Amino acid sequence: MISKKVADSLNKHMNLELYSAHIYLSMSSCANEMGLKGAANWFMVQYREEMVHFMKFYTYLVDQGMNIELLSSKAVPNTYKSLLEMMQRTLTHEELISKCINDLSEQAVQAKDHATQIFLQWFVTEQVEEENNDRDLIAKLKLVGDNGHGILMIDADMAQRVFVQPVGAPLAV
C-alpha cells in the first residue's frame, strides 16, 4: 500500500520524465538541422529511453491502484549553439533528475515504503550510467573544439547508439 504523499511525489516525477523525453526529442530535431545525423539518432534513442522511464512510473502507480495525473508539459528549448551546448544541458538536466530520484528514495525510506525503495533502485543505477555517458561525450567534444572533422567523428560514433528495451519494462513506443 502506497501513501498518498509518496504517490503524489512519484506522479510529479513521472511528469518530469515525460518532460525529459520532450527535451531530447527537441534536441534530436535540432541536431538534425545542424547536419549532425548521428547526434540526432543519439538524442532520439535518449527520447525513447525517457519514454520507458515515464512508463515505468506510470505502470508502478497504476499497479498500486492510483489514478495518475498528467500535468501539462511546459515548452522545451529548441535552439542550441552547438552539440557541446546540447550535451552540457543534457548533463545538467540529468544531474537534476538524479537529485530528484535521490530525494524520492529518501522519502520512500522515511515512509518505510519498501516496494517504492526497490522500484527506485533501477533509476538510481540508471542515473549513474546516464551522467557518465554525458560526461564522456562532453570531454570528447571539448577535446575537438571547433574542429569540424573531429565533430563529424563524434557524430559518427553517436550514430551507433541503439535503443534497447530494458528487460521487463513496459513498452513505451
Residue 69 is assigned to a ligand binding site: no
Q: Exactly one of 9, 11, 20, 116 binds ligand OFO (CB under 6 A); which one? A: 20
- Alpha helices in 64-113, H assignment, sequence order: 83-110
CB atoms within 10 A of CB 4: 8
Q: Exactly one of 9, 11, 53, 151 binds ligand OFO (CB under 6 A); which one? A: 53
Q: Of the two residues 44 and 151, which places its CB atom closer to ligand OFO in the complex?
A: 44
Residue 85 is assigned to a ligand binding site: no
Q: Of the two residues 37 and 93, which places its CB atom closer to ligand OFO in the complex?
A: 93
Environment class of residue 152 by beta-carbon count within 10 Å: exposed (0-12), middle (13-18) or buried (19+)? Answer: middle
Q: Exactly one of 7, 9, 11, 17 binds ligand OFO (CB under 6 A); which one? A: 17
Q: Is the separation of the CB atoms in 170 and 160 below 8 Å?
A: no
Q: Of the two residues 3 and 98, which places its CB atom closer to ligand OFO in the complex?
A: 98
Q: Is the separation of the CB atoms in 127 and 101 below 8 Å?
A: yes
Looking only at residues 74 through 103 of this chain, which bind ligand OFO when binding is defined by CB under 6 A? Answer: 94, 97
Q: Which residues of 96-118 are buried (b: 16+ CB within 10 A; e: fewer)?
A: ebbebbeebbebbeeeebeebbe
The C-alpha atoms of residue 10 and residue 101 are separated, in whole angstroms, by 9
- Could you say whether residue 134 binds ligand OFO (CB under 6 A)? no
Residues forming contacts to ligand OFO in the complex (CB under 6 A) are: 17, 20, 50, 53, 94, 97, 130
